[in-house]
Amino acid sequence: MRRFASHRPLVRFVVRRLAALVALSIGITFIAFALTQVVPGDPIRANLGQIAQTQPDVVAAFRHHYGLDRPLPVQYLRYLWNLLHGDLGQSEQTHDSVLHDLGQFAPATAELAITAMVIAIVVGVGLGILAAVRRNRPTDHALRLVSLGGISVPTFWLALLALYVFFFRLGWVPGGGRLDPGVLAPPHVTGLYTFDALVAGQWSTFWDAFRHLILPSLVLALFNVGLLTRYTRSAVLEVIDEEYVQGARAKGLPEHVVVLRHVLRAAMTSLITVIGLAFANVMTGSVLVENIFAWPGIGQYAYQSATALDLPAIMGVSLFVAIVYILVNFVVDLLYGVIDPRIRIA
């Protein structure tokens, strides 16, 4: 094992990270379980009808079925056991299994989050490079103001403002939801309507889904555009005066080639890390943005189940988002390790 490992640092690295991932996931289930124990709501009242909860035998059967009559550690193990079988319980509001709900709502959020991330990365990194290249010139100062403004605007407020201006006043985009009423969702492949519509060759559906996507994803992206602009600027500045960059310049390569080929690659390691952070921001923002744009995603589901004290749904959402989040970071870690071999040793 040792030989194997020492010859394959990347494999060892991946295995180590995978082990950590599993340990972390178990920790997350523990936190999710612990949280539900402090919820004051009584699951019996919440889950049984008004009449049913006055009948002792029905209540007892319910408690037994969900193991509520057992000691806490046993309840936790039972919970883990159910999780392993994909049983996240049943949501009190939707009357469907939480797993089914997540399957229904997750693609909506994924579509929004991915679009917002792509916009944030393209625009943020682009503006960041621009600011670095134009360091201390008016462009840089202007971009600094804009990006600081971007991270200072309350997302919920911006969402309202954007909806008011671009939908109501100007009528450029539709007002909320994923599709116009009457437009049916494309055949399910990934649940991302734009993608699925393209796969099915339904151009008008694609266009409709795209128009609905654009405003919420721009709003969601803005905070990260600001963040990424500042990050990219400093990451680029860290390397822009390094010798090999100077060397490339000396060779007479055009500035944009130098920036794209050498500087950006060198700045990549710090950028990848930030993108992990940006993902967390997008999840936070989506709770607020989905609410305002009537976007039927995980954010709304989380909000609705949290305010309705829908225990299984709350547990399910937190688990799901946490696991997606550590998976994203796992991938970021791997990319990091691949790009910069020194990290693996650390």
Partner 1 sequence: MSELTPTQGAFGTRVSLRRWRAVSGSAVWRQPLAVVGVSIALAWLLIAIFAPLVAPHDPLAQDFLPLQHPSHAHLFGTDELGRDVLSRVLYGARLSLPLALLLVSLSLGLGLVLGLLAGYFRGVVDGVIMRLTDLVFAFPAIILAMVVTASLGPSIRNAVLALVFVSWPTYARVVRGLVLSTADSEYVQASRLIGASARSALFRVVLPNVIGPVIVLATLDLGNAILLLAGLSFLGLGAQPPAPEWGQMVSQGTENFQYWWLSTFPGLAIFTAVLAFNFLGDSLRDIFDPRTMSGRGS
Partner 2 sequence: MRTAVPIVTVLAVAVLAATAAGVAQSASRASGTLVVDNSFVIRTTDPQREFDPTGSIVAHAMYDTLVTFKGSGTKPVPWLATSWKATNGAKLFTFHLRKGVVFSDGTPLTSADVAFTFRRLINIKASGSFLLANVTVSTPNASTVVLRSKVPNPALTRILANPALGIVNSKVVKANGGSDAVGADKKDKAEKYLDANSAGSGAFVLKQYTTNQQIVLEANPRFWGPKPKFSTVVIRNMTAPTQLLNVQRGANEIALDLSSRQASSLKGKSSVQVHIDPSPNLFNIDMNMSPKVSPVTSNPHIRKAVRLALDYKAFAALGGPGSIQAAGMVPSVFLGALPSQYAQKRNVQQAKAEVAASGIASPTITLTYPAGLTINGIDFGVLAQKTKANLAEVGITANLQGLPVNAMLQQYAAGKDQMTQSYWGPDYPDPNDYQVFLPGGTAALRVNWKTGMDKPLEALGKKALQTTDDVARASLYRQIQRKLNADSPFIPLFQPSQAIVASKNLTGAVLNFTWLIDVRSVGTR
* Residues in CB range of 285: below 8 A, 6 or more apart: 116, 155, 219, 220, 223
Q: How far is the CB of 286 from partner 1 (least distance, A)?
A: 9
Asked if residue 47 binds partner 2 (CB under 8 A), the reply is no
By a kind-dependent CB cut-off of 5 to 8 A, residue 101 interacts, out of partner 1, partner 2, none, with partner 2
* Contact call for residues 120 and 228 (beta carbons, < 8 A): yes
* Residues in CB range of 228: below 8 A, 6 or more apart: 120, 121, 123, 124, 125, 127, 128, 271, 274, 275, 278
By a kind-dependent CB cut-off of 5 to 8 A, residue 287 interacts, out of partner 1, partner 2, none, with partner 1
Asked if residue 211 binds partner 2 (CB under 8 A), the reply is yes
Among 111, 196, 208, 333, binds partner 2 (CB under 8 A): 208
Asked if residue 168 binds partner 2 (CB under 8 A), the reply is yes
Among 117, 120, 274, 278, binds partner 1 (CB under 8 A): 274
By a kind-dependent CB cut-off of 5 to 8 A, residue 259 interacts, out of partner 2, partner 1, none, with partner 2
Asked if residue 309 binds partner 1 (CB under 8 A), the reply is yes
Among 62, 76, 167, 303, binds partner 1 (CB under 8 A): 303
Among 173, 200, 326, 332, binds partner 2 (CB under 8 A): 173
Question: Could you tell me which of 317, 218, 232, 318 has the C-alpha nearest to residue 267?
Answer: 232
Q: How far is the CB of 310 from partner 1 (least distance, A)?
A: 9
Q: How far is the CB of 23 from partner 1 (least distance, A)?
A: 8
Q: Which of residues 230-269 bind partner 1 (CB under 8 A)?
A: 230-231, 233-234, 237-238, 241
Asked if residue 151 binds partner 2 (CB under 8 A), the reply is no
Asked if residue 95 binds partner 2 (CB under 8 A), the reply is yes
* Contact call for residues 274 and 230 (beta carbons, < 8 A): no
Distance CA 46, CA 329 (A): 36
Asked if residue 67 binds partner 2 (CB under 8 A), the reply is no
Amino acid symbol at 236: V
Asked if residue 334 binds partner 1 (CB under 8 A), the reply is no
Asked if residue 135 binds partner 2 (CB under 8 A), the reply is no
Q: Pick the closer one to partner 2 by CB: 36 or 329.
A: 36
Helices 9-38 and 72-84: angle between axes, nearest 10 degrees = 130
Residue 52: Cβ within 10 Å count: 13
Please state whether 41 falls in left (phi above 0), alpha (psi between -120 and 50) or beta.
beta
- Rounded to a whole number of angstroms, the CA Rg of the chain reads 24
Distance set, CA 266 to CA 92, 203, 271, 290 (Å): 50, 40, 10, 36
Asked if residue 321 binds partner 1 (CB under 8 A), the reply is yes
* Contact call for residues 127 and 147 (beta carbons, < 8 A): yes
Residues in touch with partner 1 (CB under 8 A):
17, 20-21, 23-24, 27-28, 31, 35-36, 38-40, 135-136, 140-141, 144, 148-149, 151-157, 160-161, 164, 227, 230-231, 233-234, 237-238, 241, 270, 273-274, 276-277, 280, 283-284, 287-288, 291-292, 302-303, 306-307, 309, 314, 317-318, 321-323, 325-326, 329-330, 333, 343, 346
Residues in touch with partner 2 (CB under 8 A):
40-42, 45-46, 49-52, 58, 93-96, 101, 104, 123, 126-127, 130, 133, 139, 160, 163-164, 166-168, 170-178, 180-184, 204, 207-208, 210-211, 214-215, 218, 255-256, 259, 291-294, 296, 300-301, 304, 307-310
